[in-house]
């Protein structure tokens, strides 16, 4: 594996890559980096694929444009389109985890000529709602249910990144721990926040590194976020309503390329995105697998690398 920076249109991207052959792009989520895919880059390269895991816009060694309007899905998909070209390929398979999953789904939705197969981890495809933008809907639903605020709503605050910037090590440790499958069920986060309690304060001071996270690996995350901050990553969330306004042309459009979905049995994201898992077959017309990994939480490619690698390689072999 090697890391290098690649100049694409308007953005210089840092990528972790290995291997040769057909291209597989591996898109990370929040609060992660391309290094979250190390086990997959190695396994895919050994199987004859050119595996590439970029630090996404606003993260790590990749450029960090300022402003919410610079972090829409159109930008994120466009970054991947141009990365394929810059890597010397015309087509690829795209795989995404967490926030990277919506990016991957929309790569396949918008440009199936380039992204000829797609796999999403942890976050299922969520079609555009026809009755208004998502943030007001989230507020209304959680209020009716008496659940407090979904953290995604709290992240709309333009200062929501500041507590994370103040202590990146504590912020990352708490978030990794609270969404991990090995953490006791009572301590795993639900995604909902009581009034007056922010994301980090809602997680126990007892948080430790998950069993799969070494101190050295964790240090890479801390260094990257200490240098780059959390404002850009949270701008992805702040662009949700803007994404809705920019994607009316995608209303009711389905993903037609071969697809795969993998989720951890104990993934807290299922508390607020799980309903979309049941409807995947309605929106992915060539869904070739939908797998639940027993005992795993949210960080499945790192928690269960051997299982995820096998599922991805089986999917790729069938294309």
Active site residues: 98, 298
| CA–CA distance, 28 with 32 (Å, rounded to integer) | 6
SS3 track for 117-167: EEEEECCCCCCCCCCCCHHHHHHHHHHHHCCCEEHHHHCCCCCCCHHHHHC
Label residue 120 exposed, middle or buried (CB < 10 Å: 0-12, 13-18, 19+). Answer: buried
In Å, how far are 251, 272, 277, 311 from 283, measured between CA atoms?
A: 12, 18, 10, 21
Contact in structure between 24 and 49 (CB atoms under 8 Å): yes
Burial of 126 (0-12, 13-18, 19+ CB in 10 A): middle
Query: In the chain, what's the furthest Cα-to-Cα distance?
Result: 52
Whether residue 39 contacts residue 303, with contact meaning beta carbons closer than 8 Å, is answered with: no
CA 113, chain centre distance (Å) = 22
Residues 6+ apart with CB under 8 A from 175: 31, 199, 200, 203
Residue given tokens 């930008």 in the structure block: 75
């Amino acid at each position: 594996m090697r890391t290098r920076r690649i100049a694409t249109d308007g953005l210089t991207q840092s990528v972790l890559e290995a291997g040769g052959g057909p291209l597989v792009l591996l898109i990370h989520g929040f609060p992660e980096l391309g290094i979250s895919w190390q086990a997959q880059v190695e396994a895919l390269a050994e199987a004859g694929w050119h595996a590439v895991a970029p630090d996404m816009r606003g993260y790590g060694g990749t450029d960090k444009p300022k402003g919410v309007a610079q972090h829409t899905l159109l930008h994120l998909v466009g970054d991947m389109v141009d990365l394929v070209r810059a890597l010397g390929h015309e087509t690829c398979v795209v795989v995404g985890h967490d926030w990277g999953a919506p990016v991957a789904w929309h790569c396949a939705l918008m440009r199936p000529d380039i992204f000829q197969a797609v796999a999403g981890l942890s976050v299922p495809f969520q079609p555009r709602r026809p009755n208004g933008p998502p943030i007001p809907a989230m507020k209304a639903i959680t209020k009716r249910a008496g659940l407090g605020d979904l953290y995604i709503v709290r992240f709309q605050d333009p200062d929501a990144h500041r507590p994370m910037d103040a202590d990146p090590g504590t912020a990352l440790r708490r978030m990794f721990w609270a969404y991990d499958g090995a953490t006791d069920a009572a301590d795993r986060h639900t995604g909902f926040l009581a009034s007056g309690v922010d994301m980090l304060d809602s997680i126990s001071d007892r948080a430790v590194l998950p069993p799969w996270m070494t101190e050295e690996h964790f240090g890479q995350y801390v260094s990257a976020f200490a240098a780059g901050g959390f404002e850009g990553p949270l701008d992805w969330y702040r662009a949700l309503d803007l994404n809705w306004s920019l994607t009316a042309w995608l209303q009711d459009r389905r993903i037609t390329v071969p697809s795969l979905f993998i989720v951890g049995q104990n993934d807290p994201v299922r508390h607020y995105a799980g309903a979309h898992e049941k409807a995947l077959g309605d929106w992915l017309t060539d869904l070739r697998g939908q797998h639940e990994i027993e005992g795993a939480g949210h960080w499945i490619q790192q928690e269960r690398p051997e299982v995820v690698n096998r599922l991805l390689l089986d999917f790729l072999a069938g294309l």
